A and B are shown apart, each in its own frame.
Chain A
Amino acid sequence: MLFSSIPFLYYFLPIVLLIYFITPGKLKNSVLLISSLVFYGWGEPRYVFLMMATILIGYVFGLLVERFRKKASAKVLTALSAVLFLGVLGYFKYANFFIENINRLTGFSMPFLNVVMPIGISFYTFQLLSYIIDVYRGDVKAQKNPINLGAYIALFPQLIAGPIVRYRDIEIALRERVHTIDKTAEGIRRLIIGLSKKVIIANTMGEMCTAFTSSGDKSVGFAWLFAICYSLQIYFDFSGYSDMAIGLGKILGFDFMENFNYPFISKSVTEFWRRWHISLGSWFRDYVYIPLGGNRVGRMRHIVNIFTVWLLTGFWHGAEWNFVIWGLFFAVLLTVEKFFLLKYLKGVAGHIYVILVTLISFAIFSAESLEGAMGIVGEMFAFGRMPLVSEAFIYNVASYLPVIILAVVASTPLGSILYAGLKEKRGFGTAVDILEIPVLLTLLLLVTAYLASGSFNPFLYFRF
């Protein structure tokens, strides 16, 4: 089920919130677990059983690892759980990729597996791994109550598109959490802002991207317009989903980590990745990069560590070579920045550099395959081989320019700064407060209007 859908907003959510808030505190996690399984089963009825089995296995491993902590068997159990969870992820997400490439290399014709990837498997697998590893490290205690662990793993606000919430971050909230009017109101605000980002901006940008991919009237300008719109689409889609997740979390009494922090204002790729999909970056930092030695090793080993992390980051996003290339593209840039470039990346030059490389990176990311990625990037640099502009480009620029400008402005902290500034200003604070509620309700009305129109509403996370 998508957050940005009529069934979620006006059927699932009101019923769940009603039941959740009238249920006594001790049973709230049971409500969360059941509603999360319904939410998940809505799109993947068969995979609810996989999810339940995964939770149960994670629960047992958590207890066993804690039981044998500081003994060699704990390490073995942790490794075993990692192999098991990554094996399930590999089977559903990567098996056909490997079969395809082995067939290509060897000339074999191994049959493909007839499997559909369970939505959100990359997210909840990483959550389970972090839980078991944290128990092994002694950072958290194993959860004794399987319902609480189930509520954490399956928690519907963050189940299918993150943020990747660490168990240690919500361990206390799982036991006891406070629901306040202020926190609920903040959650509502984030939810509506997230919905608006996804439905009004990301989906509109997505329409432009579809217009590009289905058009035969290509040009260099059109390819760049596509790269801009796709970058904005994925940012507003993903950060919108994170806002919705954080907002829903707050309504339910949780505090999830922030996942985006205006990444497009960065002056270096290093900074960009501190602001983009923060929960994934910090996961790889804590569970891969640092255990490999991080930067406290020799230069060559350090470079190997960077490349390992970014190879895995790329591969995490999808089982295609273009994602691998996408990850390695960032590995190269981050390495060059770390050892040479970073000190020169200041001011406007830094901004231009980041925008340029992220546009290219998302053009690679947008494709279905390596050939597709090369095709789009090739068109972006086909000066002399393709026309600079085409009729389709001119029409789409004219049609989408106001939304692009809106999206660009909204991807900077300008709005937040203005909002905070006005609130501080004497005489304006009350006006801003008074206006905020009708603005939020208007946004909710617009989102509902878009959804009722059955507008273009893609789901970008099926590959993650």
Chain B
Amino acid sequence: MKNKSLITVICFALVLCVFSVMCFIKPEGEFSESERRPLEKMPELSLESVLDGKFMAGFEKYATDQVPFREYLKSIKANFVLKVLNKKDNNGIFIHDGYVSKLDGEINEEMADNAAEKFLYIYESYLKGKDMNIYLSLIPDKNLYLESMGYPALDFDELSRIMQEKCPYMTYIDIAKLLELDSYYKTDSHWRMEKIVPVAKLLLEKMGANSNAEYETLTLDVPFYGVYAMQSSLRVEPDEIKYLTNSSLENCTVTYFDAGEGKKGDMYNMDKAYGKDPYEMFLSGSTPLCVIENPEGDKEKELFLFRDSFGSSIAPLLCEGYGKITLIDTRYIQSSHLGSFVEFNEGSDVLFLYSTMLLNNSMALR
């Protein structure tokens, strides 16, 4: 073809010039919704930052984060990897039958040790020697229910065995058998509140609490694109968030504590429901300490729930069995500071309820 070389050169020069100009003039993005993180800013240019290489290292991250059409480009890459190259996952994110999930690898014993050490510290500092019933329950990752479809899953039985062995002062409650794939959101890592009523009932029964409540199911009127939907960079069907209520739950009072200050709030935070991460509607998402008081619950019974984000959506279902539930998330409060804010009363129940995802990557526990 005549002029083939000329057309090649013109096309390449145009692409290079246009994209390059766009890189220079595009306004700086602030935040990546899909990765839920702030985007890199232009590093400070100075002789010192150039000589020590910090400017260049920062600029490489900046240029990659601020590239024009970044979300479209990520989507092109994800589609190419999964649909053309036929890889089973893209950056560890995979899709099977509408379920989006993340490969969770193998058991990291160091992380399990770390979690067990943190639990032991709490036990020895606040619980040991008191008349308290201490329970442990592990929440499997949804990959466990995708394993039969050919995706590797963390060995749940082995991790629960390790944790039971390392925490002999706790009574283990096995909830895995009550869960199945549709107990989880398709696009998120978390479990669905409306599917875990049997899990809550089992926990209550095992802890000797009342477990007969009936609930009304309400549906949030916004589509829920979970964390994996965002990370997949693919067009996926959204989930629906359903939440349960009854008269007893409506009468509960919820107090959130941050930096020692208590603030009244709702069981279901509707501001967060319409925010960036609707799952945070459950007990307002990440909070270090939260107390639910149920005037219709058994006033003699109190529960201390050590938990991660999965605990937010199951805690309301445990309310009927207790007059007071204190939720503690030691990712946001030092275990050593707990004594200043929480009084661990004799006769209470204590439940350590954690996802295997967190236990296998437990550096966040403080």
In the complex, A441 Cα to B9 Cα: how many Å? 11
Are B8 and A437 touching (Cβ within 8 A)?
yes
In the complex, A148 Cα to B8 Cα: how many Å? 30
Contact with B1, one of A11, A433, A450, A453 (Cβ below 8 angstroms): A433
Separation in Å of the A180 CB from the closest CB of chain B? 8
Q: Which residue of B lies closest to A402 (CB)?
A: B86
CB interface residues, B 35-55, toward A, < 8 Å? 50-53
A interface footprint on B1-26 (CB within 8 Å = 1, 0 otherwise): 10011111101100111011001100
Query: Which residues of chain A come closer than 8 Å to B6, judged between CB atoms?
Result: 181, 185
Are A453 and B233 touching (Cβ within 8 A)?
yes
In the complex, A42 Cα to B233 Cα: how many Å? 31
B interface footprint on A377-402 (CB within 8 Å = 1, 0 otherwise): 00000000000000110110011101
Contact with B5, one of A182, A445, A446 (Cβ below 8 angstroms): A182
Separation in Å of the A219 CB from the closest CB of chain B? 13
Query: Which residues of chain A come closer than 8 Å to B156, judged between CB atoms?
Result: none
In the complex, A215 Cα to B233 Cα: how many Å? 26
CB interface residues, B 57-71, toward A, < 8 Å? 59-60, 63-65, 67, 69-70
In the complex, A15 Cα to B13 Cα: how many Å? 12
A395-B88, A452-B64 known; A444-B4 Cβ under 8 A: no
The answer to whether A78 has its CB under 8 Å from any CB of chain B is: no
The answer to whether A290 has its CB under 8 Å from any CB of chain B is: no
In the complex, A115 Cα to B224 Cα: how many Å? 52
Are A45 and B53 touching (Cβ within 8 A)?
yes
Are B67 and A441 touching (Cβ within 8 A)?
no
In the complex, A391 Cα to B143 Cα: how many Å? 14
Query: Which residues of chain B come closer than 8 Å to A99, judged between CB atoms?
Result: none
Are B19 and A402 touching (Cβ within 8 A)?
no
* Interface-facing stretch out of B73-81, B174-182, B275-283: B73-81
* Interface-facing stretch out of A2-10, A138-146, A222-230, A314-322: A2-10
Are A399 and B77 touching (Cβ within 8 A)?
no
Q: Which residue of A lies closest to B23 (CB)?
A: A10
Separation in Å of the A3 CB from the closest CB of chain B? 13
Separation in Å of the A211 CB from the closest CB of chain B? 9
CB interface residues, B 74-115, toward A, < 8 Å? 74, 76-78, 80, 85-89, 91, 105-106
In the complex, A392 Cα to B78 Cα: how many Å? 22
In the complex, A11 Cα to B76 Cα: how many Å? 22
The answer to whether A448 has its CB under 8 Å from any CB of chain B is: yes
A10-B63, A217-B106, A399-B87 known; A440-B19 Cβ under 8 A: no
Separation in Å of the B232 CB from the closest CB of chain A? 12
Are A5 and B60 touching (Cβ within 8 A)?
yes
The answer to whether B151 has its CB under 8 Å from any CB of chain A is: yes
Are B87 and A400 touching (Cβ within 8 A)?
yes
Are A14 and B16 touching (Cβ within 8 A)?
yes
Are B87 and A13 touching (Cβ within 8 A)?
no
Are A45 and B51 touching (Cβ within 8 A)?
yes
Q: Which residue of B lies closest to A201 (CB)?
A: B85
Are B16 and A10 touching (Cβ within 8 A)?
yes
The answer to whether A406 has its CB under 8 Å from any CB of chain B is: yes
Q: How many residues of B contact A (CB 8 A)?
A: 47
In the complex, A8 Cα to B89 Cα: how many Å? 28
Are B74 and A6 touching (Cβ within 8 A)?
no
The answer to whether B363 has its CB under 8 Å from any CB of chain A is: no
Are B91 and A453 touching (Cβ within 8 A)?
yes
Are A392 and B152 touching (Cβ within 8 A)?
yes
CB interface residues, B 159-205, toward A, < 8 Å? none
In the complex, A204 Cα to B82 Cα: how many Å? 12
In the complex, A7 Cα to B24 Cα: how many Å? 11
In the complex, A201 Cα to B126 Cα: how many Å? 55
Query: Which residues of chain A come closer than 8 Å to B53, judged between CB atoms?
Result: 43-45
Q: Which residue of B lies closest to A15 (CB)?
A: B20
A185-B9, A450-B77, A452-B73 known; A7-B60 Cβ under 8 A: yes
Separation in Å of the B296 CB from the closest CB of chain A? 49
Separation in Å of the A183 CB from the closest CB of chain B? 8
In the complex, A429 Cα to B2 Cα: how many Å? 11
In the complex, A10 Cα to B68 Cα: how many Å? 11
Instruction: Classify chain A: how many residues form its interface, as a range.
Output: 35 or more
The answer to whether B56 has its CB under 8 Å from any CB of chain A is: yes
In the complex, A395 Cα to B150 Cα: how many Å? 7
Are B85 and A406 touching (Cβ within 8 A)?
yes
Query: Which residues of chain A come closer than 8 Å to B24, judged between CB atoms?
Result: 11
Contact with B8, one of A440, A445, A451 (Cβ below 8 angstroms): A440
Query: Which residues of chain A come closer than 8 Å to B105, judged between CB atoms?
Result: 214
A6-B64, A10-B63, A11-B63 known; A441-B73 Cβ under 8 A: no
In the complex, A400 Cα to B89 Cα: how many Å? 10
Are A189 and B16 touching (Cβ within 8 A)?
no
- Most central of B9, B12, B50, B85 by chain A CB within 10 Å: B12
Contact with A452, one of B15, B59, B60, B67 (Cβ below 8 angstroms): B67
Separation in Å of the A295 CB from the closest CB of chain B? 44
Separation in Å of the B222 CB from the closest CB of chain A? 28
In the complex, A238 Cα to B5 Cα: how many Å? 27
CB interface residues, A 412-460, toward B, < 8 Å? 429-430, 433-434, 436-437, 440-441, 444-446, 448-455
Are A188 and B8 touching (Cβ within 8 A)?
yes
Separation in Å of the A292 CB from the closest CB of chain B? 41
A185-B4, A452-B70 known; A446-B76 Cβ under 8 A: yes
In the complex, A392 Cα to B314 Cα: how many Å? 33
CB interface residues, A 167-217, toward B, < 8 Å? 181-182, 184-186, 188-189, 192, 204, 214-217
In the complex, A184 Cα to B17 Cα: how many Å? 16
Query: Which residues of chain B come closer than 8 Å to A188, judged between CB atoms?
Result: 8-9, 12
Are B64 and A446 touching (Cβ within 8 A)?
no
A42-B56, A395-B88, A449-B77 known; A430-B1 Cβ under 8 A: yes
The answer to whether A403 has its CB under 8 Å from any CB of chain B is: yes
CB interface residues, B 202-242, toward A, < 8 Å? 233
Contact with A14, one of B7, B17, B63, B64 (Cβ below 8 angstroms): B17
Q: Which residue of B lies closest to A9 (CB)?
A: B16
Query: Which residues of chain B come closer than 8 Å to A455, judged between CB atoms?
Result: 77, 91
Separation in Å of the B143 CB from the closest CB of chain A? 12
Are B16 and A46 touching (Cβ within 8 A)?
no
Separation in Å of the A116 CB from the closest CB of chain B? 11
27 A-B pairs in the complex with CB atoms less than 8 angstroms apart: A6-B23, A10-B63, A13-B16, A181-B6, A185-B9, A188-B8, A188-B9, A204-B85, A215-B106, A216-B106, A398-B88, A399-B89, A400-B87, A402-B85, A403-B85, A406-B85, A429-B1, A440-B8, A441-B11, A444-B15, A445-B76, A448-B67, A449-B73, A452-B64, A452-B69, A453-B73, A453-B233
Given A448-B67, A455-B77, 16 further pairs, Cβ under 8 A: A11-B24, A11-B63, A14-B17, A15-B20, A185-B5, A217-B152, A398-B88, A398-B150, A437-B11, A444-B12, A444-B15, A448-B73, A449-B80, A452-B67, A452-B69, A453-B77
Q: Which 4 A-B pairs have the closest CB atoms?
A: A185-B5, A433-B1, A452-B73, A399-B88
Task: Give the A-binding residues of B (Cβ under 8 A).
Answer: 1, 4-9, 11-12, 15-17, 19-20, 23-24, 50-53, 56, 59-60, 63-65, 67, 69-70, 73-74, 76-78, 80, 85-89, 91, 105-106, 150-152, 233
